[in-house]
Amino acid sequence: MVIYTGPFNLFFHTVPLRRGGPLIETSSTTEVVEPYRRGRCVIVKVWPGKGWVFGRWTGVHEDEETALVAAVAAHMDTALDDAGKLQRRYAREAVARSSKDPTDEWEILSALDLTGEDR
Query: What does the chain look like in DSSP terms, one character per residue?
Result: ---EE-GGGEEEEEEE--TT--SEEEEEEE-SSTT-EEEEEEEEEEETTEEEEEEEEEEE-SSHHHHHHHHHHTTHHHHB-TTSPBPHHHHHHHHHHH-SSHHHHHHHHHHTT-SS---
| 80 in the same domain as 55 | no
Q: Is 53 contained in some domain?
A: yes
Categorize the per-residue pLDDT at 53 as very low, low, confident or very high, splitting at 50, 70 and 90: very high
For position 79, what pLDDT does the model report? Answer: 65
Higher pLDDT pick, 14 / 7: 14
Q: What is the mean pLDDT of residues 73-102?
A: 71
User: Which of the four pLDDT bands, split at 50, 70 and 90, describes residue 76?
Assistant: low
* Residue 28 shares a structural domain with residue 85: no
Q: Chain-wide mean pLDDT for the chain?
A: 81
**Mean pLDDT on 18-45:** 89
The rounded percent of the chain whose pLDDT value lies above 90 is 25
79-104 burial, b for 16+ CB within 10 Å, e for fewer? beeeeeeeebebbbebbeeeeeeeee
Domain with 6, as residue range(s), is 1-62
- Pair (11, 47) in one structural domain: yes
Query: In this structure, what is the dihedral angle of CA atoms 67, 15, 115, 85, given to the nearest 10 degrees?
Result: 50
Position 118 in a domain? no
Looking at residue 86, what is its pLDDT? 67
Q: Is residue 82 part of a domain?
A: yes
Same domain, 5 and 48: yes
52 shares a domain with 99: no
The answer to whether residue 77 scores a pLDDT higher than 60 is: yes
Q: Are 49 and 21 in contact (CB under 8 A)?
A: no
State whether 26 and 3 are in the same domain. yes
Residue range 21-31: average pLDDT? 89
Confirm whether pTM is higher than 0.85.
no
